[in-house]
Amino acid sequence: MANDDQIKVGNASHNSVTSEPPKETGPTRGPDIVLRTFQPSDLPYAKHIYYSTYFGQVPQGVKSKLLHPLTWALFIGSYSYLMALVPIVISDMNFPWWTGTALRIFVTFAWTVLSFAGLFVYTDRKEAVDGIEDAMCNDMKDIEEYYLGWNKEERVVEDDKDFSTSKAAEGGKKVTFDKSSKAATEVIKTRKPDEERTASQFWVLTINSIPSATVAIDQHHDIVYNARGEMLAPWKQAGQFLCRRYHLSIPKFLEGPAVPKQTVLFPAHKKNEASLQRLAIQGEYQGFGLSNILISRAMMWANEHNIEVVYAKVNQMQKPTQTILKNKHGFRQISRKSTGWFGQYEVELQCNVKDWVEKYEKDMREKEESEKQLKEEQSSKEQ
């Protein structure tokens, strides 16, 4: 026999077996989307998603400044001043007759480009960076500890015996090592007591197993102060830089306060209140309705934990988020605070959880009924 070394199973012959997998004839499978609780390995992804999303909102911040009257007043005023200088500059010089026109065109183009670039750089390097640093230095510095109710203690490991003893004493708690430090350290995680834990939670949405979006519910009963501290005004920072650059003593009016003032990052919540935080979606996945999935999960969690009111704060760079929250999820504006001279603002939104759940359940019933009706129509046509 030619194929004595082969095992024959069933009635299939060698020639009837193909090496290629069968071709799929059904509909093309979409991406694998999973919304789950944050895991320790997600931390670098969560940080990247948040700051990349925040930087992606810079054009909206520039647009809000361009729509503000003060921006145009300063631009037109300074432009008019520059135009008035052109004939003065060339009046005593022997230039061709067209020099004045060419210089005006150049000044118009240059001033327009510089003004727009200045708005973009300020929005990107000041406003966006401040928002990102506030998150990275506070709640997103350690998501497990802030949102998920873990306490962490770092200890130096003297030897392997001490490590094995401490691990056994802690009941096999998860231990990690900081290899970059000179002495080996262990980080021991323990659950916070029940009286210290709140309804805070942090979720990560993965697409094909890659973290691509985040959202959180934040509830804390004490005021959260900004760990960054209060930053000096930009003009004071520039003054100090120039003084150091030219080896001059810094005058008192450029110095900051002797005792840094603590700024409030998040106000305290009542027992039935919480806030929607860190809603961020990777740029290439925006516009596909993922925000509705994230917000809906957070609101359902709030309902499950007896939270009656959910707040959300957005600024001028997050106008699309504000529109989604108000138009699709029933959030309403309760306050608006100006945070700058060029249209910067912060809006606080509020949503009643019970009203949201009722609307959500109603929408789901209507969707099921419409799908059922569509199937019945299709089946009747086939018959």
Listed range (3-12, 140-149, 211-220, 370-379) with the worst mean pLDDT: 3-12
Given a cut of 70, is residue 114 above it in pLDDT?
A: yes
pLDDT tens column, 271-289: 999 999 999 999 999 999 9
**Pairwise CA distance, residues 282 & 50, whole Å:** 8
Residue 104 pLDDT grade (very low, low, confident, very high; cuts 50, 70, 90): very high
Given a cut of 80, is residue 165 above it in pLDDT?
A: no
What's the pLDDT score for residue 2?
Answer: 46
Residue 187 pLDDT grade (very low, low, confident, very high; cuts 50, 70, 90): confident
Given a cut of 80, is residue 8 above it in pLDDT?
A: no
Given a cut of 60, is residue 4 above it in pLDDT?
A: no
For the record, the structure tokens of 144 come out as 């497990």
Strand partners, 205: 35, 213
Residue 270 pLDDT grade (very low, low, confident, very high; cuts 50, 70, 90): very high
CB within 8 Å of 35: residues ≥ 6 apart: 203, 204, 205, 206, 293, 294, 297
Question: What average pLDDT score do residues 84-91 get?
Answer: 85
What's the pLDDT score for residue 47?
Answer: 97
Domain boundary assignment for the chain: 59-136, 150-191, 231-262
**Pairwise CA distance, residues 44 & 31, whole Å:** 22
Strand 210-218 and strand 201-207: the pairing is antiparallel
Cβ–Cβ under 8 Å, residues 345 and 317: no
| SS3 call for 364 | helix
pLDDT tens column, 136-163: 999 999 999 999 999 888 877 765 545 4
What's the pLDDT score for residue 135?
Answer: 95
Of 100 and 56, the one with more pLDDT: 56
**Pairwise CA distance, residues 89 & 84, whole Å:** 9
Given a cut of 50, is residue 191 above it in pLDDT?
A: yes
What's the pLDDT score for residue 31?
Answer: 85
What's the pLDDT score for residue 158?
Answer: 65
What's the pLDDT score for residue 86?
Answer: 85
Of 237 and 167, the one with more pLDDT: 237
CB within 8 Å of 367: residues ≥ 6 apart: none
**Pairwise CA distance, residues 273 & 138, whole Å:** 20
What's the pLDDT score for residue 33?
Answer: 94
**Pairwise CA distance, residues 294 & 15, whole Å:** 52
**Pairwise CA distance, residues 204 & 36, whole Å:** 6
**Pairwise CA distance, residues 64 & 340, whole Å:** 12
What's the pLDDT score for residue 80?
Answer: 95
Residue 166 pLDDT grade (very low, low, confident, very high; cuts 50, 70, 90): very low
Share the mean pLDDT of the chain.
85
Residue 259 pLDDT grade (very low, low, confident, very high; cuts 50, 70, 90): low
